[in-house]
């Protein structure tokens, strides 16, 4: 790992590594964050549908979604296609050796594939125009502009935001004639989602048991292992990528998973909120972001996670409190059962983990999650699938316009 | 050094120097090139002038170009026979013989491993052969050179490294007033730092990297703010 990696990026020399280990041990980070604190996420929507720039600190990712008519795969004749492309050209300066470049882009690509495609987050069946003949091919281009650690989260957030922002033209297929309408003729249609996944990254060091979230490039390179967890807004696990050499116990992973689940939920809420604001801006006919430079550099249109979510907290939020009560009632019984099933450490953990604000995390969900680390990275959350198909059934009559509220209602209903 | 800053672009002909060259001797520094009777800039940046007749272009750069006598920080990449390959941020890796350390003999080799950080002097540098480093001076003493253990190491632009090394640079003095520390600055844009505690080292590193984006006027402010960096 050490020799074939290049020395241009930080965290490759011994002093750096031992210093980071020491810093983590003393619970210090270079930018003054706490170990469970994330950098601010900033979203900028471009003038085109499906163009989003995301920045987390100095990490910058630009994502663009395009669509095209094409023929479906023979194995899935009634499903559209979703293609995820990663372009690391912007950080080519980091890759002295071809192998590191390949490795980096492969990891990122497989994370995106697992998070969005294998977990079937986009309803591909709705992209079918005529079975076996015409389907929509959605192509997501993820351009990495700058890399300062945690490319994973930045690109999943960017991909999710871009897909949610994207609108495809309406199309009709009659008498073997395909007709695609322009935006003037018929309004564009947003994509349908079955669930909304994003990822959260943790770094684990041998010197300390405490994982740190949202690592910078230095922290990431000096880490002994990196764990990337993707959760959707229903707090179901979509993918888990744990590698490296640091010994990690179930407890640490569970702690990460719990925190990641809440973080993912708030990230999705943030993206939704940002989309609403963007829509408002469009309706008002406000000035859109012009051109790439403005998209990356413009501070005026930036939607910051910290700002948006902090003002949301001030608003009275009936939904979560309601749910909490519901959960408390409903979960009382399962909790007793769980004490018998679960090992003790995970029980303690709910008590002592200081950063664990997920006390309201539904308990039955917990037990579901607990089984996940055991069947490791390929886990596709089989039980989640049932839930999801249920969601799908619920959603179908409502069709689009899925607001935050209806979502949480649905979620609550399942747990009762 | 004059502070007039005319920005020159690569390929731009600089008539002022040509005029001066007619009457007296002129020295062209980095970023300037003589083509027959004309002086042409080869890099973009502000044109600097030092009395009596030295000119250079102070361009922003991160890729180091080795020059004889430079003090650099390098990371050992590999052992290769009786050489160590060292990454100094140049286009090519540099080499250092295991005999180029204090008190090293054929029997008594220095113990260097990949990833170790060394402070060394460039012995020879030419465009066509790989640069060679030494960790001793002409009488075989190590002086300040050698392996740097512990501490923190980070990279910056070449300009920042050069600025810190300038004799009249107020930065290091201002920082010394706040806390004691050890520092090694390489002209290849690499800085090694060590203070008493980890917190202080982080604060110093952040303060120095903050200088990257700031002008000379803000130096005092940033150094004065070191207390703020420490608290965070």
> Which residues 185-204 of chain B have a CB within 8 Å of chain A?
192, 198-199, 201-202
Nearest chain B Cα to A13, which residue?
A: B115
Whether A141 and A95 have beta carbons less than 8 Å apart is answered as no
pLDDT band for B231, please (50, 70, 90 cuts): low
Render pLDDT for A168-177 as a digit per residue (tens, 0 to 9).
999 988 888 8
Contact B117 A14 (CB under 8 A): yes
What pLDDT does residue A416 have? 37
Closest approach of chain A CAs to the CA of B94, in angstroms? 13
Mean pLDDT over each residue of chain B, to the nearest integer = 85
Three-class SS of residue B162?
Answer: helix
Nearest chain A Cα to B156, which residue?
A: A10
* B150 interaction partners in chain A (CB closer than 8 Å): 15, 18-19
Closest approach of chain B CAs to the CA of A30, in angstroms? 6
Q: Is the dihedral of CA B104, B107, B112, B114 positive or negative?
A: positive
Closest approach of chain B CAs to the CA of A125, in angstroms? 50
Closest approach of chain B CAs to the CA of A3, in angstroms? 7
A123 part of contact set with chain B, CB < 8 Å: no
C-alpha pair distances (Å), A318 with each of A325, A361, A408, B199: 11, 16, 11, 42
> Which residues 86-115 of chain B have a CB within 8 Å of chain A?
87, 89, 113-115
B151 part of contact set with chain A, CB < 8 Å: yes
A1 part of contact set with chain B, CB < 8 Å: no
A96 part of contact set with chain B, CB < 8 Å: no
* ipTM above 0.85 for this complex: no
φ/ψ of residue A267, rounded to 5: -65, -45
User: Which stretch of A312-321, B63-72, B83-92 has the lowest confidence by average pLDDT?
Assistant: A312-321
What pLDDT does residue A406 have? 41
Interface test with B, best of A2, A15, A27, A28 (most B CBs within 10 A): A15
Minimum-distance CB partner of B153 among A16, A28, A30: A16
A131, β-bridge pairs: none
Contact A16 B201 (CB under 8 A): no
pLDDT band for B226, please (50, 70, 90 cuts): low
* B186 interaction partners in chain A (CB closer than 8 Å): none
| CATH 3.40.640.10 describes domain B152-231 | no
Which of A247, A254, A415 lies closest to A327 in space, CA to CA?
A: A415
- Check whether B72 has a pLDDT greater than 90: yes
Contact B202 A30 (CB under 8 A): yes
pLDDT band for B95, please (50, 70, 90 cuts): very high
Render pLDDT for A246-267 as a digit per residue (tens, 0 to 9).
888 888 888 889 999 999 999 9
A3 part of contact set with chain B, CB < 8 Å: yes
Contact A3 B75 (CB under 8 A): no
* B202 interaction partners in chain A (CB closer than 8 Å): 23, 28, 30
Residue bearing the bigger pLDDT, B38 or A90: B38
Nearest chain A Cα to B115, which residue?
A: A13
What pLDDT does residue A65 have? 94
Contact A14 B192 (CB under 8 A): no
Q: Where in chain B is the domain with CATH 2.40.50.100?
A: 6-57
List average pLDDT for each run of 10 residues in chain A, which is 416 residues long: 49 85 88 86 88 90 92 90 89 73 88 91 91 91 90 93 92 87 87 93 88 90 90 90 83 89 92 90 74 71 79 49 40 38 38 40 42 40 44 42 41 41
Closest approach of chain B CAs to the CA of A247, in angstroms? 23
What pLDDT does residue A287 have? 66
Minimum-distance CB partner of B115 among A14, A22, A30: A14
Give CATH for domain A14-415: 3.30.230.70
What pLDDT does residue A350 have? 38
CA distance B159 to A42: 30
Whether A309 and A266 have beta carbons less than 8 Å apart is answered as yes
Render pLDDT for B174-201 as a digit per residue (tens, 0 to 9).
788 878 899 999 999 899 999 998 888 8
C-alpha pair distances (Å), A215 with each of A20, A31, A246, A369: 11, 10, 16, 24
Q: Where in chain B is the domain with CATH 2.40.50.140?
A: 71-148
- For the B6-57 domain, the top CATH level (class) is mainly beta
Render pLDDT for B41-64 as a digit per residue (tens, 0 to 9).
999 988 888 888 899 888 888 888
Provide the 10 A C-beta neighbour count for residue B2. Answer: 9
Minimum-distance CB partner of B116 among A14, A23, A31: A14
Give CATH for domain B71-148: 2.40.50.140
């Amino acid at each position: 790992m050490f020799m074939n990696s290049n020395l241009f990026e930080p965290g490759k020399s011994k002093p750096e590594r031992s210093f980071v280990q020491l810093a983590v041990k003393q619970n210090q980070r270079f930018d003054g964050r706490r170990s469970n604190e994330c950098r601010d996420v900033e979203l900028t929507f471009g003038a085109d549908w499906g163009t989003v720039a995301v920045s987390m600190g100095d990490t910058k990712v630009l994502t663009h979604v395009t669509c095209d008519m094409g023929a479906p795969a023979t194995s899935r004749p009634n499903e559209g296609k979703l293609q995820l492309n990663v372009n690391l050209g912007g950080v080519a300066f980091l890759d002295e050796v071809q192998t590191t470049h390949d490795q980096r882009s492969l990891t990122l690509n497989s994370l995106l594939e697992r998070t969005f495609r294998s977990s079937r987050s986009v309803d591909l069946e709705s992209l079918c125009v005529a079975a076996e003949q015409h389907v929509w091919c959605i192509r997501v281009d993820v351009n990495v502009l700058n890399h300062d650690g945690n490319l994973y989260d930045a690109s999943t957030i960017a991909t999710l935001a871009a897909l949610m922002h994207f609108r495809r033209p309406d199309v009709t297929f009659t008498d073997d004639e395909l007709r695609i309408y322009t935006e003037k003729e018929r309004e564009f249609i947003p994509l349908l989602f079955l669930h909304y996944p994003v990822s959260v990254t943790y770094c684990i060091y041998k010197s300390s048991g405490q994982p740190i979230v949202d690592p910078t490039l230095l922290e990431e390179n000096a880490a002994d292992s990196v764990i990337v967890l993707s959760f959707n807004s229903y707090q179901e696990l979509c993918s888990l990528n744990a590698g490296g050499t640091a010994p990690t116990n179930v407890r640490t992973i569970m702690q990460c998973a719990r925190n990641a689940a809440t973080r993912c939920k708030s990230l999705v809420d943030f993206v939704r909120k940002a989309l609403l604001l963007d829509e408002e801006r469009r309706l008002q006919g406000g000035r859109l972001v012009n051109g790439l430079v403005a998209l990356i550099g413009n501070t005026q249109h930036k939607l910051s996670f910290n700002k948006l979510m902090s003002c949301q907290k001030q608003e009275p939020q009936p939904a979560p409190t309601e749910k909490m009560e519901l959960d408390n009632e409903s979960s009382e019984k399962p909790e007793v059962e769980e004490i018998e099933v679960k090992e003790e450490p995970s029980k303690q953990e709910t008590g002592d983990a200081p950063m664990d604000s997920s006390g309201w995390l539904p308990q039955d969900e917990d037990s579901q999650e607990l089984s996940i680390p055991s069947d490791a990275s390929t886990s596709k959350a089989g039980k989640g699938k049932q839930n999801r198909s249920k969601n799908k059934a619920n959603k179908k009559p409502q069709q689009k316009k899925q607001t935050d509220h209806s979502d949480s209602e649905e979620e609550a209903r399942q747990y009762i | 050094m004059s502070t007039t800053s005319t920005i020159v672009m690569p390929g731009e002909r600089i008539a002022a120097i040509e005029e001066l060259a007619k009457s007296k001797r002129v020295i062209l520094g980095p970023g300037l090139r003589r083509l027959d009777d004309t002086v042409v800039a080869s890099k973009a940046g502000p044109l600097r002038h030092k009395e009596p007749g030295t000119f250079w272009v102070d361009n922003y750069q991160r890729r180091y170009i080795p020059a004889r006598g430079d003090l650099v920080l390098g990371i050992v990449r590999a052992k290769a026979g009786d050489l160590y390959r060292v990454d100094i941020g140049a286009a090519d890796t540099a080499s250092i013989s295991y005999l180029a350390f204090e008190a090293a003999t054929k029997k008594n080799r220095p113990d260097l491993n990949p990833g170790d950080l060394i402070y060394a002097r460039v012995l020879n540098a030419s465009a066509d052969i790989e640069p060679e480093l030494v960790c001793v001076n002409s009488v075989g003493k190590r002086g300040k050179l050698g392996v740097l253990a512990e501490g923190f190491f980070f990279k910056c632009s070449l300009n920042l490294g050069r600025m810190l090394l300038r004799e009249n640079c107020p930065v290091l003095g201002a920082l010394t007033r706040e806390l004691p520390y050890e520092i090694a600055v390489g002209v290849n844009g690499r800085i090694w730092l060590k203070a008493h505690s980890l917190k202080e080292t982080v604060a110093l590193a952040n303060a120095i990297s903050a200088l990257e984006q700031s002008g000379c006027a803000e130096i005092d402010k940033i150094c004065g703010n070191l207390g703020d960096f420490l608290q965070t």
